[in-house]
């Protein structure tokens, strides 16, 4: 597993972070080192490009894909449709490019509504000036029920589970070439026994990308908000026998100095624990 700057290579899975914040984007000098864009993670399984969440980080990702990627076929898997996970989608450049296919997946909406309804609401008066019909790409919407297993591309398996979060969210386990990555956000792990389906997604994963919005000290003021602390992440990773833990979905209130201290403390608690930052790349 190599960090930072390694080329997309023959390793089975390559992870790149384009947005690492939760709740709301927070650009500026105090967050420049870790980044201010909201959730978006590119996970390449061989040549297959899978995108997890469409926060504001999906805008620079889309620009890079249009310029550099030979692929014209993209899958966007949403944890859920809160604005920090969906709000960047209308700025995803492939949507405005002919001969592209963009598939948007969500597992937490039915039977109340579907992912197409959610995107239409976002891209409509009075929130947004351009409607779905103006997009040049072929856009496909795929609803599923969290808990189902998906095979979106040859050799790629996505196991899913519902996560404890207001309105629901979907956790993913990406399996490819005998390796696995768990993408678990937004999730309130809590202090009781770990939810068995959550533990199953994380079990023996080479990498866990986890909602670690808070510290244990901040949690009591945020019970029921649907997020976890980095200490709870360490507990989950240890219980799951996972490889490396990567803290993600950082609070917008945590500036670079705070994030540095979290990184030091988390690495001491579980050596090798990483803190996601924009541009960081992990080869598995
Ligand atoms: Zn979020
Ligand atoms: Zn949320």
- pLDDT tens-digit profile of 155-167? 999 999 999 999 9
Q: How far is the CA of 121 from the centre of ligand 2 (A)?
A: 17
Going from the C-alpha of 152 to that of each of 38, 49, 103, 119, the distances in angstroms are 25, 11, 10, 21
Residues by chain with Cβ below 5 Å of ion ligand 1: 22, 84, 186
Q: How far is the CA of 75 from the centre of ligand 2 (A)?
A: 20
Q: How far apart, in whole angstroms, are the C-alpha atoms of residue 172 and residue 152?
A: 13
Q: How far is the CA of 11 from the centre of ligand 1 (A)?
A: 29
- pLDDT of the residue at 70: 82
For residues 15-22, give the mean pLDDT. Answer: 98
Q: How far apart, in whole angstroms, are the C-alpha atoms of residue 284 and residue 1?
A: 5
Q: Which residues contact 5 (CB under 8 A, 6 or more apart)?
A: 281
Query: Helices marked H in the chain — which ranges?
Result: 58-68, 83-86, 115-122, 196-202, 230-240, 256-269
User: Quick check: 7 pLDDT over 80?
Assistant: no
Range scoring the smallest mean pLDDT among 5-9, 37-41, 126-130: 5-9
Model confidence pLDDT, tens digit, residues 59-71: 999 999 999 888 8
Q: How far is the CA of 71 from the centre of ligand 2 (A)?
A: 30
Q: Which residues contact 44 (CB under 8 A, 6 or more apart)?
A: 8, 13, 14, 15, 16, 50
Range scoring the smallest mean pLDDT among 62-76, 81-95, 117-131, 247-261: 62-76
Model confidence pLDDT, tens digit, residues 31-81: 999 999 999 999 999 999 999 999 999 999 999 999 988 888 999 999 999
The whole-model pTM stands at 0.95
Q: How far apart, in whole angstroms, are the C-alpha atoms of residue 203 and residue 94?
A: 34
Q: How far is the CA of 42 from the centre of ligand 1 (A)?
A: 17
Q: How far is the CA of 50 from the centre of ligand 2 (A)?
A: 20
Q: How far is the CA of 226 from the centre of ligand 2 (A)?
A: 7
Q: How far is the CA of 187 from the centre of ligand 2 (A)?
A: 8
């Amino acid at each position: 597993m190599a960090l930072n700057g390694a080329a997309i290579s023959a390793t089975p899975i390559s992870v790149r972070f384009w947005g690492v914040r939760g709740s709301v984007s927070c650009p500026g000098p105090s967050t420049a080192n870790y980044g201010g864009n909201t959730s978006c993670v590119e996970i390449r399984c061989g040549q297959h490009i899978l995108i997890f969440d469409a926060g504001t980080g999906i805008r620079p990702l889309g620009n890079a894909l249009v310029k550099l990627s030979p692929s014209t076929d993209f899958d966007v898997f949403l944890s859920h449709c809160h604005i920090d996970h969906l709000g960047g989608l209308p700025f995803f450049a492939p949507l405005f490019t002919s001969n592209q296919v963009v598939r948007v997946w969500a597992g937490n909406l039915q039977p109340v509504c579907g992912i197409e309804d959610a995107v239409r609401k976002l891209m409509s008066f009075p929130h947004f000036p351009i409607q779905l019909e103006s997009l040049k790409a072929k856009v496909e919407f795929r609803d599923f029920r969290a808990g189902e297993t998906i095979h979106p591309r040859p050799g790629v398996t996505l196991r899913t589970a519902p996560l404890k979060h207001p309105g629901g969210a979907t956790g993913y386990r990406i399996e490819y070439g005998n390796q696995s990555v768990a993408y678990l956000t937004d999730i309130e792990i809590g202090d009781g026994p770990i939810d068995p389906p959550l533990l199953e997604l994380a079990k023996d994963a080479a990498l866990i990308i986890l909602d670690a919005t808070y510290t244990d000290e901040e949690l009591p003021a945020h019970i029921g908000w649907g997020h976890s602390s980095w200490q709870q992440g360490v507990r989950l990773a240890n219980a799951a026998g996972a490889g490396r833990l990567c803290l993600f979905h950082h609070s917008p209130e945590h500036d670079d100095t705070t994030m540095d201290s979290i990184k030091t403390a988390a690495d001491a608690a579980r050596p090798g624990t990483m803190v996601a930052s924009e541009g960081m790349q992990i080869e598995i």
